[in-house]
């Protein structure tokens, strides 16, 4: 490996827009968005679990679309709007999806919840009336070891049904 590539050489100050706030952060080229969020911005709601793109615990929204923060370089998201679980609640009030997750017991240990809730947020923003099948398909990339998924699906369906009542 060339000397240039050694520790400390490949660093840059970049601007990241996280939850509506601009941050200027010094990042190494090799750092993933997950590392920057957790270690530099102290936004530890985004969880670090498998770190290889299989579990969905590190899900964040990039311009509204769920992606895995462990497989995105921080350098790649300079012009994007990043939303983490910390950015959902407004003025101390939880979103209907978060409320529903609590009400239906869809949160147990809570490790998958940030990713699960962000995936659901993106799903319902794109398709407010998903079928059970579409819900299952959407959360296929979020692994939960506690709930057995049924309570999570029930929580999402409750939000959907409420959407439907309001829509009709």
Q: Residues 138-167: x/- map of binding to another protein (CB under 8 A)?
A: x-xxx-------------------------
Q: Are 77 and 22 in contact (CB under 8 A)?
A: no
Give the β-pairing of 81-83 and 11-18.
parallel
Q: Are 75 and 12 in contact (CB under 8 A)?
A: yes
Closer to another protein by Cβ: residue 95 or 134: 134
Residue 120 as a binder of another protein (CB under 8 A): the answer is: no
Min dist. Cβ of residue 19 to another protein (A): 19
Rg for the chain (alpha carbons), in Å? 17
Which position among 31, 45, 106, 114 is part of the footprint of another protein (CB under 8 A)? 31
Closer to another protein by Cβ: residue 35 or 154: 35
Residue 110 as a binder of another protein (CB under 8 A): the answer is: no
Handedness of CA 108, 84, 130, 158 (dihedral sign): positive
Residue 2 as a binder of another protein (CB under 8 A): the answer is: yes
Closer to another protein by Cβ: residue 105 or 111: 111
- CA-based nearest residue to 25, from 37, 8, 10: 37
């Amino acid at each position: 490996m060339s000397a240039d590539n050694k520790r400390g050489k490949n660093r840059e100050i970049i601007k990241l827009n996280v939850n509506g706030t601009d941050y200027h952060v010094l990042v190494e080229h090799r750092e993933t968005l997950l590392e920057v969020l957790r270690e530099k911005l102290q936004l530890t709601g985004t969880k670090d679990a498998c770190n290889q793109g299989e579990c969905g615990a590190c899900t964040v929204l990039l311009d509204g679309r769920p992606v895995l923060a462990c497989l995105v370089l921080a350098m790649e998201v300079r012009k994007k709007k990043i939303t983490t679980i910390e950015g959902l609640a407004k003025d101390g009030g939880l979103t209907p999806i978060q409320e529903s997750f609590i009400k239906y017991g869809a949160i147990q240990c809570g490790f998958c919840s940030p990713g699960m809730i962000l995936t659901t947020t993106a799903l319902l923003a794109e398709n407010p009336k998903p079928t059970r099948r579409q819900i299952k398909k959407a959360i296929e990339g979020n692994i939960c070891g506690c709930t057995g998924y049924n309570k999570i699906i029930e929580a999402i369906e409750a939000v959907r049904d409420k959407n439907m009542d309001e829509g009709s």
